[in-house]
Amino acid sequence: MSRNADNWLLRVTNLTKIYGEPNENTVDQTGPKFNSNICPETDSIVACADISFDLYPGEVLGIVGESGSGKSTVVKLLYFDMEKTGGAAWLKPYADGSIDMLSESNQKKRFIRNNLMGMVYQNPRDGLNFNFTSGGNIAEKLIMAGNYHVGEIRGRASDLLNKTEVPVLRMDDRPANFSGGMQQRVQISKAIANNPPLLFLDEVTTGLDVSVQAKVLDLIRELQQDLGIAMIVVSHDLSVIRMLTDRTIVMKNGRIVESGLTDQILQDPQHEYSQLLVSSLL
Ligand SMILES: Nc1ncnc2c1ncn2[C@@H]1O[C@H](COP(=O)(O)OP(=O)(O)OP(=O)(O)O)[C@@H](O)[C@H]1O
């Protein structure tokens, strides 16, 4: 991981998502100090507001918070799964970081997503097409990025399945016939198929048995070390954050209440909400 002020990979400023019809007081009347993300005047919901951070190449950033705190919203906005209400984000490998990617056309967003990002969802059905084989799912991602050579695609799919410890013999089998842990491994293969510099992981082990969770987390850690991909890891579970991340953002009611080195947050949380989360780990 290399880190200096100009060397960011992803820069996010004031990212905001509001559902409903907010008024000028909505952002000011919601958040941790009101213990609510619902505007009392308009009933609009502030899923996240004023989220700003830099992510550095090869760095793993955790986003932690209880259910409804806005964690998934942040990554879904950055992966273009939903439209922002406000804010901007720049990705260095796209136009040398000079263009706000959230304001780009849908076509440009598709290009960025297919070539420069990967996403692993909690539910494998969100990241995989269950009508395709596991190899077909990986091929889909490669084809969307402009690779059409069948032999190369099959070779790459087989390498990726190997890397993620899915038996290559199952390349022509559908993920619907796989265990939950194996479905997540195929999803990870697909997400990293184009060697993206940035990978989002949204509660990827939450639905899995504990023993399977540990193996998937080990795999993610190994891939991160081997490939040096920067990651944003969303989890409500601080033990996942502890295992995977260098730096952490703690969210509550759609806002960042604390951010810093993961070790520091775990050892000496400053905000009372982080203290509560950490105490639940002990
Ligand atoms: N389509 C929607 N319409 C209205 N509110 C929504 C919608 N989607 C999400 N929200 C609200 O936005 C807030 C943030 O949701 P988000 O899914 O980002 O939280 P989270 O921290 O990821 O929690 P979880 O892990 O339970 O998904 C929540 O209050 C949620 O109810």
Per-residue pLDDT of the chain (282 residues; tens, 9 = 90+): 566 778 999 999 999 999 999 999 999 999 999 999 999 999 999 999 999 999 999 999 999 999 999 999 999 999 999 999 999 999 999 999 999 999 999 999 999 999 999 999 999 999 999 999 999 999 999 999 888 899 999 999 999 999 999 999 999 999 999 999 999 999 999 999 999 999 999 999 998 888 889 999 999 999 999 999 999 999 999 999 999 999 999 999 999 999 999 999 999 999 999 999 999 876
Residue 2: its pLDDT value, please?
60
Place of tokens 């402009």: 146
pLDDT of res. 3: 67
Q: In the Cβ-directed half-sphere of 8, how many Cα atoms lie within 13 Å?
A: 16
Q: In total, how many domains does the chain have?
A: 1
Task: For residue 1, tell me if it sits in a domain.
Answer: no
Q: Is residue 109 part of a domain?
A: yes
Residue 207 is predicted with a pLDDT of: 84
Q: What is the pLDDT of residue 1?
A: 58
The number of CA neighbours under 13 Å toward the Cβ of 1 is 16
CA dihedral 257, 262, 268, 269 (to 10 degrees): 20
Which pLDDT value is given to residue 6? Answer: 84
Measured from the Cβ of residue 58, the count of other Cβ atoms closer than 10 Å reads 18
* Nearest-atom index, ligand 1, CA of 236: 25
pLDDT of residue 63: 98
| 48, part of any domain | yes
Position 280 scores a pLDDT of 83
* 134 domain residue, yes or no: yes
> What is the per-residue pLDDT for 74?
98
Kindly list the distances between the CA atom of residue 132 and the CA atoms of 83, 86, 140, 165, 175, in Å, as whole numbers in the listed order: 28, 36, 9, 19, 8
Residue 225: inside a domain, yes or no?
yes
| 3 located within any domain | no
Ligand 1 atom closest to the CA of 76, numbered from 1: 18
Using CA atoms, how far apart are residues 145 and 250, in angstroms rounded to an integer? 34
Question: Cα of 165 to ligand 1 centre, how many Å?
Answer: 33
Q: How far is CA 105 from CA 42, 101, 102, 111, 176, in A?
A: 30, 9, 9, 10, 34
Of 17, 71, 74, which is best to mutate to test ligand 1, by the most ligand atoms within 8 angstroms of its C-beta?
71
Domain assignment of residue 70, yes or no: yes
pLDDT at 269: 95
Provide the b/e sequence for 9-38 (b: ≥16 CB within 10 Å).
bbbbeebbbbeeebeeebbebbbbeeeebb
Within-domain flag for 5: no
What is the CB < 6 Å shell around ligand 1? 19, 37, 45, 47, 65, 67-73, 236
CATH number of the CATH domain containing 82: 3.40.50.300
The domain containing residue 175 runs over which residues? 10-279
